[in-house]
Amino acid sequence: MANASNESCAMFMTALCRAPFMSWPIGPYGTIMAFILISTIPLRNLLSRDEKGERLKLSELPSEIREKGYKWHISLFVVMYLYKAVIDHHNEPIKARVGGYTHWIHSVEGDFTIWAQNAFKSDLLTDVLSFHYLYVYLFTIWFLPIYFIMVKDHVMADKATLNYFVIYVLAVPMYLFFNVEVTSSFIPGMEALLYHDSWYIEFFTNNDPMDNGFPSLHFGLPAGLLIINRLHCRDLGISIREWRHRELDLFVLVNVGIYFFSIQYLGIHWITDVVPGLFLGVICAIFCHWWQPILRNRPANGWKSLIPTKRALSTAIIFTILCSTVMVQATVDGPGVDEEAPNFRIGEGDFIIDTVEVHSLSHPVTVEIRNLDSTSGTTPQESSIICVISMRSEVVHVFERGHFSEGYDFYDLLEMPHHSNHTIAHGESVVATVETNTIFDTHLVICHSTQSTEEVRITMHYFDDELIWSAVLASLPAFFVTGLVIDVKRSQSSHIEGEDSAHVDS
């Protein structure tokens, strides 16, 4: 009876967590943003309960935006939205020229990440962590600048806004030129608990390239903010425990820990992805902490004050030229495009999903699928790879928490409207052409293994694959910012070396 009671309780909690959002027509992004907006004022009041005099009234917000110069904060969010759209537009077309490196990461880590999913998997935990994965990331992006504005801390509002923009800029070269698929696409038996779910799948296939795993900004962005907080407190001459926003800092700290687990559990990131995420967080924090007072004082000092010193400019330009040259020579038509290197691995009975994006209404996309197993004597009928290319809208409802919904299996996809299906023998490949007539014609390539673990390479050729050179241009700001940070640290080191030992502690 006890076991039955516990099972009923778990089923009730899962339904309670999942049902309200599943019935909303506005999707996961709209639902979570609505949740954040509704909770903004109550959370601000909770975190500032000891300093009510520092709260900004909603009626005072327009004048505060004008007086504190918050217009550029709003503009930066708009610029970020457009910049990300440009980067995402480049991501898929240039993959035919830069390939992927998931097999390198796997050679280092192996299948270790799957432990989190196997040890803790439950429907309730999956639903809670899926919601948390999207909610806290958007919360960090939106709420923190708004919170600092509404408690009259314009310095931290500046830094929190810059943190969001700068860390993404820093990640662009790796996102475009060092593609790494999510763990659930490469570790046999690991389920894409978040991505392969009827409620989330449309949002993520529209907004999140599944090969942008390296680095993890879900880890790097909040880590950067934690470093900014400590640099800020150092300037104030206080410890982090004495800071007025200590509770908010603890909230971010706790969620960094949760993210480290959830990105493994949900089948998203490799542990290796966390390392460059943290590295970028450090660079971003140093840059934002250094740049914020310069930017804040620009109205008084003029636009020329934003131009770095000649030494800083020289360092940044040289670093940008060196890094971009190495990046182009090492990645364009480099080892990542090796046709014998897999970008997907499928366990027996598993399936993987890749997305055919809409880039042109007049030029078709060519999809090449290679079964890399070279076992001889295998006929197509005996092959263990079957692939279906289907409109996303036709099949989105059959997925739930990383597997097929109850009552469905892979072969049911063959009975639904689909573009084509292919049975691929070992060592063989197929080429399919996908035409898109409207901007809503997103297709999914769904591959299934019937016999054993298989290695697959999926390559898509878009008409605009020469975007490779504008992708290089889009990567230059990352190297330039890093070069400026190198100069900042070099200047600080020179300053400390020139000080008396009594001042070195600073």
pLDDT at position 9 is 46
Q: Which of 224, 469, 205, 181 is nearest to 342 (CA)?
A: 181
- Mean predicted lDDT score pLDDT of the chain: 85
Characterize 85-106 residue by residue with b for buried, 16 or more Cβ atoms within 10 angstroms of its Cβ, and e for exposed: eebbbbbbbbbbbbbbbbbbbb
Torsional class of 283: left (φ above 0), alpha (ψ -120 to 50), beta (otherwise): alpha
Please compute the mean of the pLDDT values over residues 247-258 and round it to a whole number. 93
pLDDT at position 148 is 93
22 pLDDT above the threshold of 60: no
Q: Which two tokens stand for residue 347?
A: 């366990």
For residues 213 and 498, the model is more confident at: 213
Residue 349, burial from CB neighbour count under 10 angstroms (0-12, 13-18, 19+): middle
**Each residue's pLDDT tens digit, 304-323:** 888 888 999 999 999 999 99
Distance CA 43, CA 441 (A): 40
Q: Which of 424, 459, 26 is nearest to 202 (CA)?
A: 26
Q: H helices within 208-309, ranges in order?
A: 217-236, 246-265, 274-296, 298-301
DSSP reduced 3-state for 404: strand
How far out from the chain centre does Cα 298 lie?
32
Task: Please report, in angstroms and rounded to a whole number, the separation of the first and last CA atoms in the chain.
Answer: 64
pLDDT at position 383 is 57
Distance CA 102, CA 170 (A): 20
The architecture in CATH of the region 339-467 reads: Sandwich (2.60)
**Pair 186, 345: CB distance under 8 Å:** yes
For residues 299 and 120, the model is more confident at: 120
Q: How many CB atoms lie within 10 A of CB 434?
A: 19
Please compute the mean of the pLDDT values over residues 250-274 and round it to a whole number. 93
pLDDT at position 501 is 38
52 pLDDT above the threshold of 80: yes
pLDDT at position 472 is 95
pLDDT at position 474 is 94
**Each residue's pLDDT tens digit, 154-206:** 999 999 999 999 999 999 999 999 999 999 999 998 988 888 888 888 878 87
Neighbouring-strand partners of residue 404: 399
H-run or E-run covering 10 = helix 2-22
pLDDT at position 363 is 87
Sign of CA pseudo-dihedral 46, 48, 53, 58: negative
pLDDT at position 495 is 55
**Pair 207, 256: CB distance under 8 Å:** no
Distance CA 245, CA 153 (A): 10
**Each residue's pLDDT tens digit, 54-64:** 888 888 888 88
8 pLDDT above the threshold of 60: no
pLDDT at position 16 is 40
Question: What are the residue ranges spanned by the domains of the chain?
Answer: 27-336, 339-467
